[in-house]
Chain A
């Protein structure tokens, strides 16, 4: 039983990491209807910027500088990609973000180098045993994973407050609901896009810090975006809590499947199991767990 919970817990914590990436997707999709494939590349770019800047300056300043870089990135994307493509179909915008993701993968590695960098921002990294009172021997978890979970929790709380309580947050929700209506009551769409891309750039930075500390900052980080996609379809493209819950379900399901049914299939099923799990959910609820119900009219 203790082993089961250990796997489950490990899965939940991995899921939190997926959720961090999925969160960036959701923010942009909600506010602009753009399916931003570049989120994974943004995570890599943000992490690379941070890790190289940290060689030059103390950590807090490097973080601020990375945030600034992500904001500049948002401005550039809005000016050069989103604005000329306004009113195009979703698939065209989606392709454009694939182009953006190729571009910043190449750009980041040209500017910052393409080695594997070790990122150490002082997150604790020691295994601890928790819940000893409940199970024989307790559950072995990594402190680092717990910290990551706390960070994710904080981030979601901050975002929730930002969306619910601030003026800008309300404007963002209005835009998400209906572009035209929002514009007609005087919400500047372009500014909103810059804000939302910046926000998701910052989310990417946080995800980059956590992933980078776990794996080292390297090219493969940009592939975590592919891990976040099943989380997205499971949770629904438009729901922040969906991203979190979806992440937890996918993380746990993936790890449990790998440990318990993986050996019968020859192992390595982690890569597609998440997608299959998400697909099964979709067959029951086509809009995802928390997505808004799609109403279609002719």
Chain B
């Protein structure tokens, strides 16, 4: 009844190619954006903004990066954490060595640095595939972890190896309260998510999907695997790099290489798989899900009046997390985005399915 496109005629090519061709979707998106930009900063507490919304948005951005590579181009990567680290440390070095740079420029250059590193580690993908490649991307993760821990230049020779972001401002506007950080992140994520959405609808995205579905066939119909795969690695790492820079500068503030270790990479892969491979919406759903589970697990025992020891909680968290992942894969291997698509199909016919 509510969700039906009957009567919405597409009279121009522009209408036909819109990102959200259905009016209700456009309204839904507008409402979500209004909540994100207006209602949340106005109503939500600082705790909610800093420890839920900010990590959620940054994770979603990194997950989009990974999804472009894994979901759209079919190259499984376990090195996203490493590429985030490249972004974070590139931003740090730019900020302290060239202090006059604008913050936005720093983030873009940080993404660019990550993209270059991503291309280098993407080169093996031209020769090897599947799980061999997944393991090979671990090489990127471990190498980058090591480089940022051991090569002192990256951390500006701080004795402890942990670094802190300098005070941030944009056009003379200091980024120092949770709300301001949130707005900056939200703006960047909105722009980049839109860019990703359009990228995968266009020629580049289609060439990635052709490579994913069958690389030899794609090659035969005239897609260059070299260009498609390396561009996927570059764009994916760019997203991961920007996300890493945001994570370091606006979420953590001060960090050490461990902040971007292999567990981060796995977490992002979980988000992409649970959210839905090959879906931008899925990245947001997956990030929200993975972020909420530990929070819920922490809250429930206390709410039920069964305080558990911290060791016990962390073990239980592992168990439940693992079990939920398995359960989820069994229940819906195509992820939350797929569930949403099914719900929309149902909704279109509701309440008269026949």
Contact = CB atoms under 8 A, between A and B. Distances in A.
Interface string B240-276: 0000000000000000000000100010011001000
A96 B131 CA distance: 14
A99 B326 contact: yes
Interface in A252-290: 265-269, 271-272, 275-276, 278-279, 282-283, 286-288
Contacts of A98: 266, 269-270, 322, 325
A248 interface: no
B330 A282 contact: no
B150 A268 contact: yes
B333 to A, nearest CB: 5
Contact of B273 (A95, A265, A286, A288): A95
A208 to B, nearest CB: 19
A95 B315 contact: no
A271 B325 contact: no
B316 interface: yes
A102 B143 contact: no
Interface residues of B, number: 49
B329 A272 contact: no
B128 interface: yes
Interface stretch (A60-68, A106-114, A165-173, A210-218): A106-114
Interface in A61-96: 80-81, 84-85, 88-92, 94-96
A142 B218 CA distance: 54
Contact of B315 (A35, A89, A114, A279): A114
Given A268-B146, A275-B139, A88 B322 contact: no
B132 A233 contact: yes
Given A88-B333, A110-B312, A276 B139 contact: yes
Given A282-B128, A283-B127, A266 B326 contact: no
A271 B323 contact: no
Contacts of B317: 106
A105 interface: yes
Nearest to A106: B318
Contacts of A104: 322
B138 A103 contact: no
A152 interface: no
Contacts of B322: 98-106
B329 A95 contact: yes
B323 A232 contact: no
Interface in B79-137: 124, 127-132, 134-136
Nearest to B151: A266
Among B70, B124, B135, B220, max chain A CB count under 10 A is at B135
A85 B132 contact: no
A231 to B, nearest CB: 10
Contacts of B314: 106
A293 B247 CA distance: 42
A146 interface: no
Given A102-B318, A282-B124, A298-B214, A92 B150 contact: no
A96 B130 contact: no
Interface string A155-179: 0000000000000000000000000
A106 B128 contact: no
Contacts of A266: 150-151
B135 A81 contact: no
Nearest to B214: A298
Interface string B130-160: 1110111011001101100111000000000
A92 B76 CA distance: 11
A282 B138 CA distance: 14
Nearest to A80: B326
Interface in B11-35: none
A64 B62 CA distance: 47
Contacts of B333: 85, 88-89, 92
Contact of B136 (A81, A114, A275): A275
A89 B132 CA distance: 15
B138 A275 contact: yes
B319 interface: yes
Given A99-B323, A103-B323, A106-B316, A283 B142 contact: no
Contact of A110 (B130, B151, B316, B326): B316
B216 interface: yes
Interface of A: 35, 80-81, 84-85, 88-92, 94-96, 98-107, 109-110, 114, 226, 229-230, 232-233, 237, 265-269, 271-272, 275-276, 278-279, 282-283, 286-288, 294, 296-298
| Cβ-closest 9 pairs across A and B | A106-B318, A103-B322, A102-B322, A99-B325, A275-B139, A106-B319, A272-B142, A99-B326, A272-B143
29 contacts: A85-B329, A90-B130, A91-B70, A91-B76, A94-B134, A95-B270, A95-B325, A96-B329, A98-B325, A106-B316, A106-B320, A106-B321, A106-B322, A109-B311, A109-B315, A114-B315, A229-B138, A233-B136, A237-B131, A266-B150, A268-B149, A275-B136, A279-B136, A282-B136, A283-B127, A286-B129, A294-B129, A296-B216, A298-B214
Interface of B: 70, 76, 124, 127-132, 134-136, 138-139, 142-143, 145-146, 149-151, 214, 216-217, 220, 262, 266, 269-270, 273, 277, 311-312, 314-326, 329-330, 333
Given A90-B131, A98-B266, 18 more contacts: A88-B333, A103-B319, A103-B322, A105-B322, A106-B314, A106-B315, A106-B317, A109-B311, A229-B138, A233-B132, A233-B136, A269-B146, A271-B146, A275-B143, A279-B124, A282-B132, A283-B128, A296-B216
